[in-house]
A = this chain, B = another copy of it.
Amino acid sequence: MATGPTIRDVAARAGTSTAVVSYVLNDGPRPVAPATRARVLDAVADLGYRRNNLARALRANRTGTIGLVVPDLAKPFFAELVRAVEDAAFTRGFRLLVGSAHFDAGREGEQLQALLDARVDAILLAPSQDPAPAVTPLRRAGIPHVLVHRTHPGTAGVAGDDTDAGRQAAAHLLGHGHHHIALLGAGTGDDPVSLRARGADAVLTEHDRPVSRLACPFPNLRDDAYLATRALLASQPQVTAICATTDEHALGALRAATEAGRRTGDDLALVSIDGTALAAYLTPALTAVTTPFDAIGTDAIDTILNPTSTPTIRRHPLTLTTRRSCGCRPTG
């Protein structure tokens, strides 16, 4: 790793001082005569000089790096989130340090500590579970941080409007004329699954529809939704529609339905929430209330780069994408 030329080499070649070179490179904080500036730029080009960002970071106490911790980098939802965040960060000249928490609070804490030690400028966290224990050390460390996907009162957050998403999903099934609807996912918290389930539930209750509520206590295990749906279809034939609170739940439900001989999209309707790329490519293609990943990623990065005094939680609307699984016959 031959260490390249330094700012001193540039200064020497341009016949000036390191201070002036720095002024040119950073467009300030002091003005530089055009002729001098030109000589400096020539020297930079001749030498192929590239600034040492480590030294710059030490001096400025800014690394140009943002940390992101998600429960699982490989899960489609978080993978799409990471891509969106990385894109937004790259566009703004920031690099992204990522970590997987394995849906484990302990591991999440280690990842956050590692990011703190790496001196990232800011931290984005998609909490694996209850955000509270993760937020406390971040606040104490005095580092800008924003929660993503799952929020926490008093902490800046960017997420989808999950309650509304749940409403949209339920309303769509209602629009198809379904009477007895099953809800895959439940909860009383302010996590996405709980919010979506309650949003859907509210709409169904409002319309006096019977609801079969399936808790799926481990919502991250597709097997869980699979087993719950299998049991449901066997015991409650009157259910004609399923509202899944995540694509993972939908995947399990779809499998159970198919194995039970139900033709999803024909004699069973299924609507999902998340709308990962995956949904479009299943058979049948999944009707899903779709997450605006790019908007969320961009908003998360912008929020963290322009911290305001009062932390706010912003929720982005999800939009219904109709495909086959709900019984719709989309054109094309």
- Give CA–CA (A106, B22) in the complex, Å: 29
How many residues of A are counted as interface, with CB atoms below 8 angstroms from the partner's CB atoms? 57
A58 on the B face (CB < 8 A): yes
- Known contacts being A95-B97, A97-B97, A142-B1, is A74 close to B281, with CB within 8 Å? no
Which residues on B sit within 8 Å (CB–CB) of A119?
Answer: 52-54
CB distance from A267 to the nearest CB of B (A): 15
A208 on the B face (CB < 8 A): no
Of the candidates B1, B51, B61, B258, the one whose C-beta lies within 8 Å of that of A143 is B1
Instruction: Flag if A118 contacts B53 (CB, 8 Å).
Output: yes
- Give CA–CA (A90, B99) in the complex, Å: 8
Of the candidates B64, B87, B118, the one whose C-beta lies within 8 Å of that of A95 is B118
Q: Who on chain B is nearest to A51 by CB?
A: B117
This protein's copies in its complex? 2
Instruction: Flag if A87 contacts B58 (CB, 8 Å).
Output: no
- Known contacts being A72-B83, A114-B90, is A58 close to B61, with CB within 8 Å? no
A259 on the B face (CB < 8 A): yes
- Known contacts being A83-B72, A83-B74, A87-B100, is A278 close to B277, with CB within 8 Å? no
- Give CA–CA (A255, B114) in the complex, Å: 43
CB distance from A125 to the nearest CB of B (A): 15
Residues of A participating in the B interface, judged by any CB pair closer than 8 Å: 1-3, 50-55, 57-58, 61, 63-65, 72-76, 79-80, 82-83, 86-87, 90, 95-100, 111, 114-119, 141-143, 222, 251-252, 254-255, 258-259, 277-278, 281-285
